[in-house]
């Protein structure tokens, strides 16, 4: 299972990968810096697709094109209402939904940042929850052959490294 997992310290919006995950609220408005950058780099097409999909439920995931990104798709993990906060259960359910959506679309490679850290889930706990859900999917019948965890700072790097060691 560990051979399917990789950790990189890069900008997720620069990765040439089939799909990237990002944190979203129920209105698909970017609240995290990473999400803002993904949306900005994805361009108008991504914004237009998101505008068609407002009023979504927490714990769900939707897929849009990657627009101008190297990634073919963006999987938006809906964790909170606009301006609100997510909890651990919603993070786990959202990651599960996103992984199921990737499987449904026959996506083989995904990149996942440490989503949930700005939604009042502690960094190490968010990494643990994400890794737990990903592990369940990798060990099941899935199309996903590669999961790249993406860190953009020391804290997310450390949290993912520790979580991967414990798998």
Mean pLDDT in order along the chain per 10 residues (167 residues): 90 98 91 90 94 86 98 96 87 96 97 82 92 94 93 93 92
Structural domain boundaries, residue 135: 2-165
CB 146 within 8 A of CB 4: yes
Q: Residue 154's domain is classified under what CATH number? A: 3.40.220.10
Looking at residue 33, its pLDDT comes to: 87
CB 32 within 8 A of CB 123: no
Looking at residue 65, its pLDDT comes to: 98
Assign 109 to helix, strand or coil. strand
Looking at residue 54, its pLDDT comes to: 65
Closest CA to 61 of 14, 107, 16, 15: 107
Within 13 Å of residue 165, how many CA atoms lie on the same side as its CB? 7
Burial class (CB in 10 A: 0-12, 13-18, 19+), 6: middle
Question: How many Å apart are CA 163 and CA 128, to the nearest integer?
Answer: 6
pTM for this entry: 0.95
CB 49 within 8 A of CB 36: no
Number of structural domains, the chain?
1
Question: How many Å apart are CA 114 and CA 138, to the nearest integer?
Answer: 18
Looking at residue 154, its pLDDT comes to: 92
For residue 23, the surrounding DSSP H or E stretch is: strand 19-25
């Amino acid at each position: 299972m560990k051979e399917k997992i990789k950790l990189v310290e890069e900008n997720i919006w620069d990765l040439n990968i089939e799909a990237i995950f990002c944190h979203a609220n129920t209105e698909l408005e970017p609240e995290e810096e990473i999400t803002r950058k993904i949306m900005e780099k994805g361009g108008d097409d991504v914004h237009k697709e998101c505008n068609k999909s407002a009023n979504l439920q927490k714990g769900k995931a939707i897929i849009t094109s990657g627009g101008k990104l190297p990634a073919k798709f963006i999987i938006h993990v809906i964790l909170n209402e606009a301006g609100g906060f997510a909890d651990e259960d919603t993070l786990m359910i959202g990651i599960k939904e996103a992984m199921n959506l990737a499987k449904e679309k026959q996506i083989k490679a995904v990149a996942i940042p440490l989503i949930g850290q700005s939604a009042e889930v502690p960094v190490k706990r968010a990494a643990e929850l994400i890794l737990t859900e990903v592990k369940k999917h990798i060990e099941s019948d899935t199309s996903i052959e590669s999961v790249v965890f993406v860190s953009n700072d020391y804290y997310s790097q450390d949290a993912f490294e520790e979580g991967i060691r414990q798998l």
